[in-house]
Structure 1
Amino acid sequence: MLTLFHAPRSRSTRIVTLLRELDAIDKVAVEIVDISRGDGSGRKDPKNPHPEGKVPLLDHDGVVIWESIAIIQYLTDLFPEKKMAPVAGDPQRGRYLSWLAWYAGVVEPVLIMQAAGISHSFVDFTFRSPAELAARLETALKDKPYLMGERYTAVDLLLHSPFAWYPAATPDSDAIKAWIERCRERPALQWTADYDDRTVVAA
């Protein structure tokens, strides 16, 4: 059995969106939990098995998978039919995995430090500067609509998400802005927004 522990309007929202894209939402039990949020609201929910009280967390027959990157890779491997990721053996698999790792190792740290007003040469050297992050995305999207080419994949879902949540961080690039808008127009994203709205009201 698959169970996703989800807090509406949080990082786990993108996993619900992915499940919708994979046509697998009815194959996973979604357990709504509370979390402590940056604005001071919420709380650590005893129903949430995540040791730090965070989301997303995926439980598959008693084995837990945490961190968005691991869950995205796990689910796209488990449900390959919708081709949201290149399968093992595909020549593009390495490029896809590199984008996933780049998000965790570069994008989130850079955007969090940018939002916090932290700027230091050690930080830029280790993680990249916001300008370098923007340049990398702009180069990748210069001549194609999505990060893997002509097809929308889970890396687009993941990498556009912080800019959708925090528009002030969006680089001043027409190519990046157009890509974000293409990602935002996905029906699965609107479905998840409506789902989260209903879930919050029900709670």
Structure 2
Amino acid sequence: LLRGIFEYHIMRAVDQNTVAAASLNVDELSLYTAPPEKFRYVEPKAGQLEERVATLRKLAEPYTAWCQVTYEKIKPKVQGVFQFGNDAYAYVKNPPKDFYPRAGVIGFTGVLGLVLARGSRIKKLIYPTTLMTLSASLYYPEKAAAIAKSTGDSVYDLAVQSYAAAEKILNPQSKAEKVNKPEMSSDSETKQ
């Protein structure tokens, strides 16, 4: 009897599942169909803060570009100064023999030049510089000669350029006027 009741309930459950399966279409099952995609990206509207930041960026752009260009120009010079400082520190840390006495004498001549140059500002500039240069050239004659040669060449080039500029200012005749003057003189000769 129990077996009959059990079989009855199993048959009834199988019949209900077949009825339920028969009433569903394949299109209705979510496993076989994909929902229609109607997604579209919409750019969110910018808020006041974002608009102001964008405006500030546009206003600051020329200045930041100028700063970048200036930085690129100055960077090698700053690195050179930094390297010079490192080299000077290494030199002072391990100085050659008699460096400090020589530096003391050169510094003393600079102070002596300040004492001797009482009164005029020009004297205060010229006397210490001249005395320090002379005392440094006594201790380092090779370097003084090299500096004097390069300075002499620079001064000569500057003098030539100054002479050419002064001649141009004082004698403003252009080449066209010089060409016309001989023609006038030849015309005046033909008229006579």
Q: Same fold (TM over 0.5)?
A: no
TM-score normalised by the chain length of structure 1: 0.23
Higher strand share: 1
Structure having the higher Rg: 2
Q: Between the two structures, name the one with larger relative contact order (CA 8 Å, sep ≥ 6).
A: 1
